[in-house]
Amino acid sequence: MEQNSNKKVVIVGAGINGLVAANYLARAGFDVTALERKARAGGACCSVTRVIDGVPYEYPQGASVLGMMQDFVFEETGLSKKVKIHEPSHPSIFYSKDGVACLMWSDPDQFEAEMREKFGETGQAKQFLLDMGLVVSFLQQGYRDAVVPTVKSAETTLGKELTALWITGSARSLLDHYLTAEATKIAFGISVVESGPVSFDSPYSAFSIPLMSSGSIFGGAWGYVQGGIWQIPLALDAINAELGVKRIFNARVMKLNRERKEITYDQNGEEATLTADYIIFATDPLTAARIAGEKEIEERITKQKILGAGGKLVMLFRKPVKWKGDTGMPEFDHALRDLPQVSTLDEFEERAQAAANGADFAAGNIEVYSEGLADLAMGGGRPYDIVSVYLGALGARKSGIELPQVKKQIADLVLQQAENPEDLIDTILETPRDLMNWFFFPGGNIDHMELAEGQTFADRTYSADPANNFYQFGSDPGIFYCAAGTYPCGSVAGTSGYMCAKQLIRKIQ
């Protein structure tokens, strides 16, 4: 630890990746200062409060659910001692367009039997899950080792056939290889178009399917945080403060002198400077490029496919929602639900592309998360229920407040599944335009760019020397980038921050 005690690091951005990077670096003996533009930590993982009839309702403005985080990050940062998490015991439920409810079992044998019974699946559903498990294990080992995979390393571990299917190939070819039923293909195709209008025929689009199941905190599944997911960054910020991380809020970074590693920022109208040995940007890549004066990176970003199509509808209920079709299994009402509005993969792609072509909304799939019920299961005390509805085919031209008809359309589709629709109090629609305005996401994309060919897997870097320093930002080996715009992707996970910090620690050692 002593060898790093005089090495100063300034981290720009206190979202989840900046917080995780700060945590690991501080524990390794670095002198860490974090600059955050807002008044508190969290970035897009934050809450807002709406007052209705004098009653305050706090809800997640950005991220809603936890799933992509690695279990070792949760443990090693100290988060496991500060926040309570919960994965619904009931398997997630996928409803086909014609109303058939299918349980998405994690056990391969149960999964195959369910797909066969409900959707007439005659393909290799069991082998699909088994092979995906191999790919996920490969990715998770890379996360742990802080080593970004390459096609070559994938082929060495997985073999050329699995690499071609699951990483470099198209999502359509992957799904067609294993599965026969359109409903089964749609269930897994959701991951491809969640954040942007990626084509199912695009090379590397297959990779999004195992990628979105590569979190280990819930074994590839998704769950909740007591008090709301924004408790994760707030708790981690408090932990970091105890570790000695200096946090400066309401700090708008203005410029960086790369030669002197000197950052100039404005805090409440007063200008100040900081110098460091290393600078880490944990912001969107366009902001980082402009501050760092990296014109080539800025030009590259303007040429990338960045359009976002993901947003959500927040639904506030005065009482816990009771869902139709109770299976009799524990926590049925807590289960994650997918409500696809399409019958074929082709139709799903058409809906996903519609947003890119100017439509305000094209109903593809609707993901329903019963946050309030899960909070109650963990002992939370909210006197109301929150249902977050994630949408993957929203246009980026307008903000949610400009689309009351879209808001009603989505709410009506969800309420068809509820036993007590009369308990709905209010709804809030958040579009990619809102995400752009609130969180500075390029194109309103939660992953800061489309997970498409040339922008995913090992290409998700801004380094001039990715083989030796993947998280380097541009040509300067003392400047790094570790947010959602780099490998692996966005989400409340901190994996990029962890991997970047570990690479810097190794560099010094």
Q: What is the CATH number of the domain that holds 240?
A: 3.50.50.60
Q: What angle (nearest 5°) sits at the alpha carbon of residue 128, between those of residues 126 and 131?
A: 110
For helices 108-119 and 125-145, the axis angle rounded to 10 degrees is 140
SS3 379: coil
Same-domain status, 40 and 121 = no
Closest-CA residue to 136 (of 128, 185, 112): 128
Supply the pTM of this predicted model.
Answer: 0.96
Q: Is residue 124 located within the same domain as residue 190? A: yes
The DSSP output letter for 323 is B
Is 332 part of a structural domain of the chain? yes
Q: Is residue 134 part of a domain?
A: yes
Residue 431, token pair as written in the block = 């579009």
In this structure, is residue 350 part of a structural domain? Answer: yes
Same domain assignment for residues 428 and 489: no
Pair 80, 92 in one domain = no
- The predicted pLDDT at position 5 comes to 64
313 and 421 housed in the same domain: yes
Q: Is residue 58 part of a domain?
A: no
For residue 18, what are the domain limits?
A: 8-48+66-84+226-304+455-508
Distance CA 364, CA 342 (A): 6
Tell whether 323 and 434 lie within a shared domain. Answer: yes
Task: Write down which residue in 439, 465, 494 finishes a domain.
Answer: 439
| Same domain? 347 vs 277 | no
Does some domain include residue 41?
Answer: yes
**209 shares its domain with 156:** yes
Quote the CA–CA distance of 293 and 489 in Å, as a whole number. 24
Same domain, 315 and 190: yes
Cα–Cα distance for residue pair 184/125, rounded to 1 Å: 9
**What's the number of domains the chain is made of?**
2
Distances (CA, A) of 385 to 58, 84, 88, 461: 10, 18, 16, 40
- Are 133 and 260 part of one and the same domain? no
List per-residue pLDDT tens for the chain, 509 residues long.
445 668 999 999 999 999 999 999 999 999 999 999 999 999 999 999 999 999 999 999 989 999 999 999 999 999 999 999 999 999 999 999 998 999 999 999 999 999 999 999 999 999 999 999 999 999 999 999 999 999 999 999 999 999 999 999 999 999 999 999 999 999 999 999 888 888 999 999 999 999 999 999 999 999 999 999 999 999 999 999 999 999 999 999 999 999 999 999 999 999 999 999 999 999 999 999 999 999 999 999 888 887 778 899 999 999 999 999 999 999 999 999 999 999 999 999 999 888 888 899 998 999 999 998 899 889 988 888 999 999 988 888 999 999 999 999 999 999 999 999 999 999 999 999 999 899 888 887 788 778 888 889 999 999 999 999 999 999 999 999 999 889 999 889 999 999 999 999 998 88
Last residue of a domain, one of 439, 463, 478: 439
Residues 259 and 370 in one domain: no
Whether the Cβ atoms of residue 355 and residue 309 lie closer than 8 Å to each other: yes
Domain presence at residue 184: yes
- Separation CA 495–CA 69 (nearest Å): 7
Q: Which of 383, 406, 439 is the last residue of a domain?
A: 439
How many Cβ atoms are within 10 Å of 125's Cβ, its own excluded? 23
Is 428 within a domain? yes
Q: Is residue 177 part of a domain?
A: yes
Tell me, yes or no, whether 370 and 470 share the same domain: no
For position 152, what pLDDT does the model report? 97
Instruction: Assign 3-class secondary structure to 134-179.
Output: HHHHHHHHHHHHCCCCCHHHHHHHHCHHHHHHHHHCCHHHHHHHHC
Q: What is the pLDDT of residue 4?
A: 60
